Amino acid sequence: MKTLEFRNGDKLPMIGLGTWKSKPGEVYQAVLWAIEAGYRHIDCAAIYDNEKEVGKALDYAFKNNWVKREELFITSKLWNSAHRLEDVELALAQTLKDLRLDYLDLYLIHWPVSFKPGVGFAQTREEFYTYSDVPLSQTWQGMEQCLDIGLVRHIGVSNFNISKLKEIIDNNSIIPEMNQIELHPFLQQNKLVGFCKEHGILLTAYSPLGSSDRSASIKKADEPSLLNNSTILDIADNKGVSAAQILIAYTRHRNIAVIPKSVNKERIAQNLASLEVALNEKEMTSLNDIGINYRFVDGSFFTSPQSPYSLDDLWERE
């Protein structure tokens, strides 16, 4: 398995199984199929509401000697309602309990947006905290404390733009080791990728295939399709592989980890097999030339008139 390397030498497998949108009743089997196929990187989050079932699958795999704990890299994420200093460790403890683990390999602040405790998804102004109420540096301090006491081996962020990364870097002692972001040929994020690489921050790409199965409430009627893009299909046809495999290989060729989600046994195996798909310079240029700066997960669900946040709090303006 090809890997990325953390500052201390720990390795992150470049292809992981994403579990966002994997329903209870499906994710258990998907995790077991993934481990059986050779995956050693599983990406989770508390808000996905399936960590208990993921934990059940991990426990089964460990007890039946499919894999050892130290051979798996498990990521989870801190939800928006646990950003206060006193809430971070409690949230991580619940995730560890649900996943049946003693530690995580990587813990990420899921979004640079803060809700009040107990709020699943803020709708009214009263359910949000502002950056004045709960500065990101306070949340990061909680992450550092979790690292110090051994509940997690690496800490990072997700959906952070350059200004938010700078806020963490300028006000805390530990630089984030990871930024998980949406990334694919439609949204190449070159400015943000460059900043992260300059500061030694690894990257993981989510929604690498376009997340066409996400809720209709966060989809647009006229959104483009990565899997049906003619350039991507032409390269896939020439190589005798799937469009999904080309998209995963594209991200890997940029030295960025990638976490395609699937609950289909054959596609789980196919996604991992994209490790063997090589793209030449001409093909990478063709894929880069697609760039239309289209974001599938646009974050507008956090920026309603009732919210203190705007899209400028989330994204880079390319």
10 Å Cβ neighbour count for 47?
17
Amino acid in the structure at residue 119: V
Alpha helices in 64-189 (DSSP H): 85-99, 136-148, 162-171
103 flagged as catalytic: no
Alpha helices in 172-212 (DSSP H): 190-198
SS (H, E, C) 79-113: CHHHCCHHHHHHHHHHHHHHHCCCCECEEEECCCC
110 assigned to a ligand binding site: yes
10 Å Cβ neighbour count for 138?
18
**For residues 263 and 87, what is the distance between their CA atoms, to the nearest angstrom?**
32
Give the C-alpha distances (Å, rounded to integers) separating 288 from 207, 250, 315: 17, 9, 20
Q: What CA dihedral angle connects 257, 286, 188 and 9, to 10 degrees? A: 30
**For residues 302 and 294, what is the distance between their CA atoms, to the nearest angstrom?**
18
Catalytic residue among 28, 39, 48, 250: 48
Residues found in the chain: 318
- 279 touches 250 (CB < 8 A): yes
Alpha helices in the chain (DSSP H): 27-37, 51-63, 85-99, 136-148, 162-171, 190-198, 230-239, 243-253, 265-273, 281-288
Binding residues: 110
Binding residues for substrate: 110
Residues assigned a catalytic role: 48
